[in-house]
A and B are shown apart, each in its own frame.
Chain A
């Protein structure tokens, strides 16, 4: 520094100017974050207190672990997975169909698609499950005149009611996700495809949907994981999924919290595994794009917190 203004010259208590130190001797001191430390300490103490409370509470953790691999619990896990996967498949088929219908030139199709989304997103999932399960109260028979007929209460088993309830409801959410994905694809892509002589169907299948996938898959992973957790609602219509299995055991042995913990342990294990799978899939879909998918940590956070319904 060759020239200094008077304010910039540091002065000692005696009034003599302090000589400028050589640049290497300057040390950068970051802002001291006392507030951050204090807050961190308070939170750590609260968490530690909570952990301690649960540790010393009247919970037999041996029971939690013992039932983790018990036969009825494992059956419940299997049923939960079955229900989740099958309702996801149903939801995907419905969702893609409805999203494509929304794009249609035909006003009847667009209106039906919009109505479906409105109806199934506008009513609680639990209510929908109960309606499916109790459908035999108003329709005694399922009948396609001259082709097929069967009593409703033999068809609408707890499993079928749960499958339809979860799948049809989830389909409405997936339709919106797929629609958003389709709309996110640049219109120039459709134009280029059209100019090459590709039909609208071919364009949708080869150009638009594959590109929409990048936008669709991350939220679909979220939906799957949410569905896994929402499948526990099937317990109310006596389908023996994981929560129902735990419920059956604790009504017999009264170890309520222990078994709820066992079930929770399974849920968190499954959601964690699927979150990792989702990340792998996302990475594969991002080929041809320079942006890297979000890190595992943020993905996990995104999946495990913040839900609607």
Chain B
């Protein structure tokens, strides 16, 4: 068990924006097939950390690796060489990301959204991608909407398309940044159902969320962050039902 390579490994990860230090030494490990939940108050650095994982943000210090490889750098002896844009892009393609505000491409239909990256980035044959895209849309319950434009869909439907779009690249890791926070309450369930299904299928997922019910039922590990550090971590059941730190208790009493 201990010999498996972690999917994500953070060792003393720091991130600064000018003077402002947003991440102050994050240590954590996400194992393959695990659903890893990140919770914490607004501004604690959850999104920033998630964006470091696929190099949308550069780490300022420390080491962050995905599937045993450093993010954004190549190591030669004692030196780290920054990767070229094309190499970074190739690595990003292996990591799916789902955003709070969906970020679907509004000028493309649902099907075109899902097909875009496999066809343009991986240069896969259109017919093959199309078939896979339709299967994925079926899985998220939106096969019938494949010809619609994002603007014609509800928030929950858009988010499910966004998940299908990320899955079309057959990623080894999925990142979710508050995927249900922009949704009307009655639409949250349909997105969580898709994510639950994905977890059952064995996808490795890092999920920033305020949905404690989801974290407790589906999560395998949970980290509570505050002020750029990991305050407490453990199994979601334990952390959520019997938090050890005062800050965790205070936060949970507000969101539960």
Contact = CB atoms under 8 A, between A and B. Distances in A.
Interface in B135-177: 149-151, 162, 165-166, 169
Main secondary structure of the interface of A (DSSP, over half): helix
Contacts of A194: 56, 89, 92
Contacts of A211: 105-107
Given A206-B116, A206-B120, A290-B151, A195 B54 contact: yes
B103 A197 contact: no
Interface of A: 186, 188-189, 191-200, 202, 206-207, 210-211, 287-290
Contact of A289 (B86, B89, B101, B151): B151
A197 B150 contact: no
Given A191-B103, A193-B105, A197-B169, 17 more contacts: A188-B99, A192-B99, A192-B104, A194-B92, A195-B166, A196-B116, A196-B121, A197-B89, A197-B91, A197-B92, A197-B117, A211-B105, A288-B107, A288-B149, A288-B151, A289-B149, A290-B151
A261 B210 CA distance: 71
Top-3 shortest CB links A-B: A197-B93, A192-B103, A288-B149
Contacts of A200: 85
B105 A198 contact: no
25 contacts: A188-B103, A189-B103, A189-B105, A192-B99, A192-B103, A194-B56, A195-B97, A195-B166, A196-B116, A196-B121, A196-B165, A197-B91, A197-B92, A197-B117, A197-B121, A200-B85, A202-B121, A210-B107, A211-B107, A287-B149, A288-B107, A288-B108, A288-B149, A289-B151, A290-B151
Given A189-B105, A202-B121, A288 B99 contact: no
Contacts of A188: 99, 101, 103
A197 B90 contact: yes
A196 B92 contact: yes
Contacts of B117: 196-198
A171 to B, nearest CB: 26
